[in-house]
Structure 1
């Protein structure tokens, strides 16, 4: 990074850094996460400035920084939310089967979770999106259809097909396959 690029980033950090950090604190309710996300946003913006050789391609640096930060926040939150949701399902199932969680059962649950996550990632893109909106964001089918521009009956079909795939994964897993 040459001197002018470094000065640009330093200027942006002085102008927007504190407000961006405060915004991330409000969004995450965690100072460490907010700090990491803010730093990651500035790093990504600095890399873009280096790549583009100047700030002329970034018309509104504040808006760009916030967009990068919120994208990072979304990626982190979405992944965490997804994992927590699936772990909750598996842990509840494990408790139904046995009051005692053994190390072996915990490993098996973790492996089953990985198999389910892999199966969800392998779903057709639209079906995956519908399923995640339904199960993670708890949106009604009508709202999912409105958001994605598809009929409610199509939403229902996507959910049924996704559940059938996941049921098959769990059955295979429980059968020892």
Structure 2
């Protein structure tokens, strides 16, 4: 593994595409800290910056076989972080808008048609983010939350372990929490 410290980024990407975990770890170790600092400068939230970088590397690993030709690894990773930061900011704005609308609702009283419209918008946002989950994670999450199957039932249906089911659901909630925000995640439990 010490040899990889001296490998150039292009060689590490080729090894990563072949499924080399050591190459992935080396890329992670090289770029994790600068990417977290970069994300933190954009959003000002250290924990969220770490989550964004974690998600970038998770995506890098899961899509390693479909990676395009990468000339500059650092530029590619910074672009991935930039896109995740933009999504984060967009979702924070949505969350802030919902919080403001909720406060207005509390101040002004019950408006049934407005509530239905907001529920529909929120449901569309939730469905969009669920659809963006990795396929197996999405399948497990839908079976759990929409079909209300237990971990054991899902494991039996998909021929996977209950531990794997639990990890998929935990991962899905973590991704949704980051993308949708805590405020709308509470509504997710309410709607399902």
Q: Structure with the greater relative contact order (CA < 8 A, sep ≥ 6): 1 or 2?
A: 2
Please tell me whether Structure 1 or Structure 2 has the larger radius of gyration of its CA atoms: 1
**TM-score, L = length of structure 2:** 0.46
